[in-house]
Amino acid sequence: MGDQQLTDGECSGTKVLTMETVNPNVVKMEYAVRGPIVTRAAEIEKELAEGKAKPFETVVKANIGDCHATGQTPITFIRQVVALCTYPQLMQSPMFPEDAKQKAKRILAACNGYSVGSYSASPGIEVIQKDIAAYISRRDGQPCNYSNIFLCTGASEGIKTILKMLMTGKSGSEQAGIMIPVPQYPLYSATLTEYNAYPIHYYLDEEKGWSLEVSELNRALKDAKGKCIPRAICIINPGNPTGQVLSRDNIENIIRFAHKEGLVLLADEVYQHNIYAKGSEFLSFKKVLMEMGPPCSWIELASFMSASKGFMGECGFRGGYCEMVNFQDDVQKCLLKSISVKLCPPILGQIVMDVVTNPPQEGDPSYASFQEEKNTVLKLLAEKARLITDLFNSIEGISCNEVQGAMYAFPRIYLPDKAIIAARNMNQTPDFFYCSHLLEETGICTVPGSGFGQKEGTYHFRITILPPLEEIARVMELFRDFHLRFLNKYK
């Protein structure tokens, strides 16, 4: 009797987790970058593999900033160091340059048991923390204490870690309020939903190249009064999905606003290498903060960097870091306790982050090839940013601000009323309706603007600039033909 198994039917009424009992915040969470259109794209790929007829031969995944998935070649030196750390016997091979071997030996010497299979300290391997601190010091011309650095499983986990520290543990008007941009990378809206926090939406100004106006920040904060306890403001620079690069004046105004309102600054700076527009320049919030001096230089700042973007695009290694500036010592100890529960970030991701922040120097055997590969990637991205901006603006019913940085365009689509009505009759947002038709008719997978947030009555979509140059030209021709057909159909 004790060995008797219950059937599925007998068990079905005893489930603890159902859609009625599972955490409601998880149910409410949405992450458009991997939403239903992406799921449908995967189904279409399977249908193509099975030989089903489609009006296209392949699916173009333009929905996510996954560089290598769209054909970017990995940076050789990064992969050499990772390979050597993973399989130290390769140190005997003449295929690997001496500087790669020396870097691998230095990292392995800092690993327990001389192995990347061991745990590191929870904030990361100390020599890597020190290399990152040296990188930040060179970049900003300001000192950086390595003990303020913690490595993480991509920047996303670092952002979630800091957001978790900002929660009040209360609900209603006492829940934490976090200022986030609209449009914004949906990690922020999804995480605030998961943590039961209050999103304080501030709108970027599309008419002014997605600029961030302090008057809008004041409006957003005023509207949130009585609904939450404002704790922080998130800034994405360069912008995702909007591709703008903040000027120094803009950054200074944001810092003054954060100081005046007593907010923690969260600076998402993962695209700091991705600057394309003439006259645009990446300035870190830390650099500007420190150069402004007291009292603004005393505010708390957490900045984030990733191995997934830039010129490296090593998404799958899940490497990233956070620098904490001006946080109290006991708060940092509390954060260390929090991250220690996860033991440590991926060791290989930490190694990639080390190579990014401590690359070959002039005179090293790999310096010339590393610089050539890096510059080739960034030059091509700049060319594609200009091409996509120009092409979108040449098409009827589309407008697109200049892609100054990052990896995406966020064009606005002017949809006919009949299309908007057709979408609503199907209980879909008009931009979702548009992107669904785009996928089914061309194989181009994009993300509707509603997944990032947008002003009421405007419609957008996000598309990456990552596919190879010749592929982008082909994709844009497919897109143009589709778009004009769509407009004609719903006129």
Please choose, from the candidates 488, 442, 422, the residue with its C-alpha nearest in 3D space to the C-alpha of residue 432: 422
Report whether pLDDT(6) > 80.
no
Query: What's the pLDDT tens digit per position in 222-262?
Result: 999 999 999 999 999 999 999 999 999 999 999 999 999 99
Name the one residue in this structure whose structure tokens are 């900003």.
140
Region(s) of the chain under CATH 3.40.640.10: 119-357
Q: May I ask the CATH class of domain 119-357?
A: alpha beta
CA distances for 102 relative to 85, 109, 317, 369, angstroms: 10, 11, 21, 17
Q: Please report the pLDDT score of residue 33 as a whole number.
A: 56
Query: What's the pLDDT tens digit per position in 181-231?
Result: 999 888 888 889 888 899 999 999 999 989 999 999 999 999 999 999 999
Which neighbouring-strand residues pair with 117? Answer: none
Res. 1 pLDDT band, cuts 50 70 90: very low
User: Stretch 339-348: mean pLDDT, rounded?
Assistant: 88
Q: What share of the chain is helix, strand, coil (3-state, %, to 5)?
A: 50, 15, 35
Report whether pLDDT(409) > 50.
yes
Tokens matching residue 187: 């990690």
Report whether pLDDT(9) > 60.
no
Report whether pLDDT(32) > 60.
no
Within 13 Å and on the Cβ side, how many CA atoms surround 423? 20
CA gyration radius, the chain = 24
**Mean residue pLDDT across the chain:** 90
Name the one residue in this structure whose structure tokens are 């143009």.
480
Q: Residues of the chain with pLDDT > 90: what percent? A: 65
Q: Residues of the chain with pLDDT > 70: what percent? A: 96
Q: Which residues contact 209 (CB under 8 A, 6 or more apart)?
A: 244, 401, 402, 404
Which neighbouring-strand residues pair with 198? Answer: 177
The single-letter code of the amino acid at 406 is A
Fold of 26-71+370-489: Aspartate Aminotransferase, domain 1 (3.90.1150)
Tokens matching residue 254: 């944001």
Q: Which residues contact 294 (CB under 8 A, 6 or more apart)?
A: none
Do 248 and 384 meet the contact criterion of CB atoms below 8 Å apart?
A: no
Do 258 and 233 meet the contact criterion of CB atoms below 8 Å apart?
A: yes
CA distances for 337 relative to 111, 121, 297, 330, 473, angstroms: 21, 12, 27, 11, 50
Q: Which residues contact 2 (CB under 8 A, 6 or more apart)?
A: none
Please choose, from the candidates 318, 303, 280, 310, the residue with its C-alpha nearest in 3D space to the C-alpha of residue 232: 303
For the full predicted model, state whether its pTM sits above 0.85.
yes
Region(s) of the chain under CATH 3.90.1150.10: 26-71+370-489
